[in-house]
Amino acid sequence: MITINSTIKDIAAVCEVSAGTVDRALNNRGGINEATKNKILKTAKELDYQPNHAARCLVTGSTHTIGVVCINLGNSFFSLLIEEIEQIARDNGYFINLILTHNDAGKEIEGIQYLARRKVDGLIIFPVGIGKEYENKLKRLNIPIVTLYNRISPDFVHVDVDCRQIMRNAVSFIVQKGYRRIIYLNYGIQELRERGINIFSREERCLGYLEGIKKEMLKEVLVIESYDPDTLIDLVRANADEKTAVLCPSDSVAIRVLHLFRDRGVKVPEQAGIMGFDNIDLLKVISPRIQSVDCKIRYLGRKAFSILHRQINKDSTVHDCVVKYSFTEGETL
């Protein structure tokens, strides 16, 4: 028994009323006889009627869909954020059109254009694009936009933790634990920089580290930009007088360092400290408990959606949102 999708006309025909009346019944618009309404509702159910979204969208102009433009899902910071956004969006009757950019600005803008054709009601973007031309393209879309992670410019509402402040305070936090040498691992930044894409968030973190070093009046600025175990180990051991800590841009890097240290016989935290970023779930089951920063991902996701939602509803009072964070308890410092 193959059911052909029924339309409002089919219902109208069966009930011997007009399409308009069916519409009134289905969307309880009032001004309709209870009896006819019930009859219509009943046959709608019998015919397994499902409203055609495209048709509705064509006339109302709203798709109840938001485009989410993210970098990838391998990074659990991103995937958890998407998970939260999907949930809160759906609770509010919105669906998610997901596209991934993989740090490719061309792919990003192309994807966004397509989302615009689909008349998504709003966009949540983890931008990789940057520059005036990119900005203008986005503005011309005439679609509410919220940016996350990387900032484009003050013209776009941005939601995030203050990475720079976090890193600055992280340095102080580490210093309070008795460390005087802090290495910042900025892995992979060179390649990103060469691609000329938006690396706002990464830059902010590094700036925060530098500011922290200055504030705490530490002697050495130690930034490593490419992954090489020996370089790191050598650097850690270069000065035995002052305790050294490694500040990482993410927890997965921190886990990597933890294991490297274990392999090379560097005792944590006795001989070197480690601090991560994100506080991913996995940390709970790894020992020693890695010191990290909890960025309230779920709250971030909800906030991003709610601000976008307000923009969609023509609320012009929206503004940037800086989400709070907290340092976790850890055994690696």
**Interaction site with DNA (CB under 7 A):** 5, 7-9, 16-21, 23-24, 26-27, 30-37, 49-52, 55-56, 58-60
Q: Pick what 306 binds: DNA, a second copy, none; C-beta below 5 to 8 Å, kind-dependent.
A: none
Contact of residue 239 among DNA, a second copy, none (CB under 5-8 Å per partner type): none
Cβ closer to DNA: 95 or 327? Answer: 95
Q: Residue 286 binds which entry of DNA, a second copy, none, with Cβ cut-offs from 5 to 8 Å by kind?
A: a second copy
Q: Which of 28, 30, 35, 142 binds a second copy (CB under 8 A)?
A: 142
Taking a C-beta distance cutoff of 8 angstroms, is the pair 271, 303 a contact?
Answer: no
Q: Quickly list H helices, the chain.
A: 8-15, 19-26, 34-46, 53-60, 76-91, 105-117, 132-141, 163-176, 189-194, 200-215, 229-237, 251-264, 297-312
> In terms of CB distance, is 51 or 178 closer to DNA?
51
Does 80 interact with a second copy (rule: CB under 8 A)? yes
Residue 215's binding partner among a second copy, DNA, none (Cβ under 5 to 8 angstroms by kind) is: none
CB of 58 or CB of 282, closer to DNA: 58
> CB of 34: closest distance to DNA in angstroms?
7
How far apart CA 247 and CA 205 sit, in angstroms, is: 11
Q: Which residue, among 227, 152, 222, has the nearest Cα to 188 in the 3D structure?
A: 227
Q: How many CB atoms lie within 10 A of CB 89?
A: 24
- CA of 102: how far to CAs of 52, 68, 70, 285, in Å? 33, 13, 8, 29
Smallest gap, in angstroms, from Cβ of residue 62 to DNA? 9
Cβ-defined contacts of 225-233 (< 8 Å, 24+)? 225/186, 225/187, 225/189, 225/190, 226/187, 226/188, 226/190, 227/187, 227/188, 229/260, 229/264, 232/183, 232/185, 232/257, 232/260, 233/260, 233/264, 233/266
34 contact choice in DNA, a second copy, none (CB below 5 to 8 Å, kind-dependent): DNA
Cα 73 from Cα 57, distance rounded (Å): 30
Size of the site for a second copy (CB under 8 A): 55
- Whole-number minimum distance, CB 25 to DNA, in Å? 8
Alpha carbon distance, N-terminus to C-terminus of the chain = 66
CB 82 within 8 Å of CB 73: yes
With CB cut-offs between 5 and 8 Å by kind, which of a second copy, DNA, none does residue 187 bind?
none
CB of residue 113 to DNA, shortest distance in Å: 13
> Rule CB under 8 A: is residue 252 a binding residue for a second copy?
yes
Stretch that binds a second copy, among 37-45, 50-58, 190-198, 315-323 (CB under 8 A): 50-58
Token pair 């090379």 in the structure block, residue: 264
Nearer to DNA, 56 or 180 (CB): 56
Neighbours of 18 (CB within 10 A): 12
Q: Rounded to the nearest whole angstrom, what is the least distance from the CB of residue 128 to a second copy in the complex?
A: 15
Give the binding site for a second copy (CB under 8 A). 2-5, 48, 50-55, 57-58, 63, 65, 72-74, 76, 79-80, 82-83, 86-87, 90, 95-100, 102, 111, 113-119, 140, 142, 252, 255-256, 259-260, 262-263, 281-282, 285-287
